[in-house]
Amino acid sequence: MGIFDFLTGEFIDVIHWTDDTRDTMVWRFEREGHEIKYGAKLTVREGQAAVFVHEGQLADVFTPGLYMLETNNMPVMTTLQHWDHGFQSPFKSEIYFVATTRFNDLKWGTKNPIMLRDPEFGPTRIRAFGTYSVRVSDPARFLVEIVGTDGEFTMDEISFQIRNIIVQEFSRVIAGSGIPVLDMAANTADLGKLIATEIAPTLDGYGLSIPELYIENISLPPAVEAALDKRTSMGLAGDLGSFTQYSAAEAMTAAAQNPAGGGMAAGLGAGMGMAMAGQMAQQHPVAGPWGAAPVRPAAPPPPPPVEKVWHIAENGETRGPYSRASMGQMAGRGELSRDTHVWTAGQDGWKKAGEVSELAQLFTVLPPPPPPA
């Protein structure tokens, strides 16, 4: 073997790619002037594909294996270069390595609630989130439709678009499925497969596929969840009468533990107690003498009305609550004027005391003239 043959064997062009980033989908093999030697060795590992682009045109695609870049291995390139015989000089082409393995544990979720008509609750809103995996099924199409001339294309550059496609199909499938919200948790696996099937044609146009899609959770708005919890409590309490008594007892306990409630809390608790006693009396009437028909006690009087209280805002601070009588005393002492801002439950924002009919009367009542000396 001559020295020239030895050097030729030592400097054979080797083209390959090893990736340790775990998120790179496409990587372009960089070479000065994009010159590749005829007869170079191309190594394509498992989970990869190599795509040749010659003078802006998509040429040959190589699957995993070891190749000698010659005319018999590059039919499209041979046609583009018009090689009808052996060609020994370097040729200029761009080589893109495409990762064909799965990219797992990718997140998706609904940014806004989805409106649907539930068979049991009527119009309602839901949110959902989950994970999915994606892989390149057609390297050539993916390169043409998505990557273009990007020398390093990562999963983050396409994940947002895929999430939008998933959410769109999820909204359409869920809205037309007719599955009650309470039964969706038992059908998440089937729903995930159905959504993956529905988005397959769209992703196929990108050269991608979704092997797996999972729905981890479907949740309701807080107001609907609160109503659902109350309905569950009613089911646990039994009939409506028992639930009413239970709610009244809970309200009385909460009022007794609130020291700021004062007389209002006491009046509210008394009213609830009488109402509950009336219900119990109706359910268990007192038996009459000598076996006569049960004598139902007279209906208890209605609970006393709850007095309206007021809050005062002055110098950026609030005080109160005050009863109307207290407000009258403050008006008499000059501590309350028509321009003082006041608020009470049910009132739309702060108002001046002179604009509230119930308090305006406090400023129109003047004391009579003093008796003659």
* DSSP string for 109-159: E-SSPEEEEETTTEEEEEEEEEEEEEEES-HHHHIIIIITT-SEEETHHHH
User: Which three-class secondary structure state does DSSP give residue 191?
Assistant: helix
Length of the chain: 373
Nearest to 55 by CA among 71, 38, 79, 73: 79
Cα(114)–Cα(91) distance, integer angstroms: 55
Look up the CATH architecture of domain 310-363: 2-Layer Sandwich (3.30)
Query: pLDDT tens digits for the chain (373 residues)?
Result: 444 443 343 344 788 999 888 899 999 988 766 577 777 889 999 999 999 888 778 888 999 999 888 766 676 666 666 555 555 556 777 889 999 999 999 999 998 888 888 887 788 888 999 999 999 999 999 999 999 888 899 999 999 999 999 999 999 888 888 888 888 888 888 889 999 999 999 999 999 999 999 999 888 878 777 877 777 766 665 566 666 676 777 777 776 666 555 555 555 555 555 555 555 555 555 555 555 555 566 677 776 666 788 889 888 888 888 888 888 888 888 888 888 999 888 788 888 888 888 888 787 765 656 677 6
Cα(60)–Cα(139) distance, integer angstroms: 11
Cα(61)–Cα(103) distance, integer angstroms: 21
Q: Left if phi > 0, otherwise alpha if psi is -120 to 50, otherwise beta: which for 358?
A: alpha
Report yes or no: 71 and 78 within 8 Å, Cβ to Cβ: yes
CB atoms within 10 A of CB 86: 9
Cα(92)–Cα(273) distance, integer angstroms: 93
Cα(177)–Cα(162) distance, integer angstroms: 22
Domain 103-223 sits in CATH at 3.30.479.30
Residue 342 CA from chain centroid, whole number: 40
Bridge partner list, 48: 99
